[in-house]
Structure 1
């Protein structure tokens, strides 16, 4: 089938992009509000934007209500966050943190996620996350403020935590990281099996 996107409704376009660009890594982003409330939310439009300097990129899709999510509000107010990487043991709690809560409620508490102090930023980290990137806000780029439009957020990486057993000979052991990804709809992908192919 061929789809002319100019003839599609917003949700149809969203489902074609969300369901085909898979699997996607998940940025489980923790922030702290100006009032000291710890926020935690997953974002699956996420990747590396640059390695020198180290910059991460995630996209916040505009909600149909037009209301900004707490993550971006907190980032704009404080300029700091932590991108936590989730493994399969954390998947159910990660999913719980996608719930819509009031701004004065913490997803850490709602989902029973244990937090710990970060090294260089004020937002708390997910204690059991195997890899964490402590970041400051670099730039916010509005692509579209229409429903299901996008805002691209660039984050400068200031500090990286890697669990000791995952770091071998200067590399993160891909067989042990056990990261999870997002598919379309309610589906997630697991990385319990890896295939190694050497580049030609």
Structure 2
């Protein structure tokens, strides 16, 4: 077995080891509004559940090498609101387009030809193409990581204030995972579908 001291390798090498090992990762497509009210959108695979009481999710939004924030983090900190969409087999190609680096005044949503839809409880629109979208308000934002006194990421915790779930995937208070067809992130340019599902009962 290879054993590597994390302090002896570069950030890029750490990145490659982590994204190749911590798989599969759910993908959040996040919409935010810029200061000029441009609807920005970007995918993030450093994403997960924090709590169900109240419902909360987390996003880790990586910064550039010089510590510069991404548009999404800056917009969330400014507006205190954002929408998380679950990426699935039907929308992944369009969502992939939104990973392009655009200036803040240009909309990735427009570039990918996604369809904005007003939210119920917050100002930020979502997009129609997602079968599940979560309206969120900012609960906490923490600067973490980095080197030479420059933060490496913005760790954002959002509280879900409204769920929107397509009729085709909603069944008796649950989400039908097969019909949702969520995709996950692997390393490089690779993604994964749910694949084979197996069941193991928890011990009592």
Contact 2:65–2:152 (CA under 8 A) maintained in structure 1: no
Q: Deviations over 1:74-103 (max 9, x none)?
A: 111111100011111111111111111011
Contact 1:25–1:47 (CA under 8 A) maintained in structure 2: yes
Contact 1:61–1:148 (CA under 8 A) maintained in structure 2: no
Root-mean-square deviation over aligned CA pairs = 1.5
User: Equivalents in 1 of 2:49, 2:102: separation in Å?
Assistant: 28
TM-score normalised over the length of structure 1? 0.94
User: Equivalents in 2 of 1:145, 1:7: separation in Å?
Assistant: 15
Q: In structure 1, what is the equivalent of residue 54 of structure 2?
A: 53
SS at match of 1:89: coil
User: Could you tell me how far 1:195 is from its partner in structure 2?
Assistant: 2.8
Q: How many residues align?
A: 200
The answer for unaligned runs of 5 or more in structure 1 is: none
Q: Which deviates further from its counterpart, 57-66 or 34-43?
A: 57-66
Q: Deviations over 1:13-37 (max 9, x none)?
A: 1111111101000111001112110
Q: Which deviates further from its counterpart, 188-197 or 155-164?
A: 188-197
The answer for unaligned runs of 5 or more in structure 2 is: none
User: Could you tell me how far 1:65 is from its partner in structure 2?
Assistant: 4.1
Q: In structure 1, what is the equivalent of residue 191 of structure 2?
A: 188
Contact 1:136–1:155 (CA under 8 A) maintained in structure 2: yes
Q: In structure 2, what is the equivalent of residue 167 of structure 1?
A: 170
User: Could you tell me how far 1:64 is from its partner in structure 2?
Assistant: 2.0
User: Equivalents in 2 of 1:61, 1:148: separation in Å?
Assistant: 9
Contact 2:73–2:154 (CA under 8 A) maintained in structure 1: no
Q: Deviations over 1:93-114 (max 9, x none)?
A: 1111111101100001111111
**Structure 1 consecutive aligned stretches of length 4 or more whose deviation exceeds 6 Å:** none
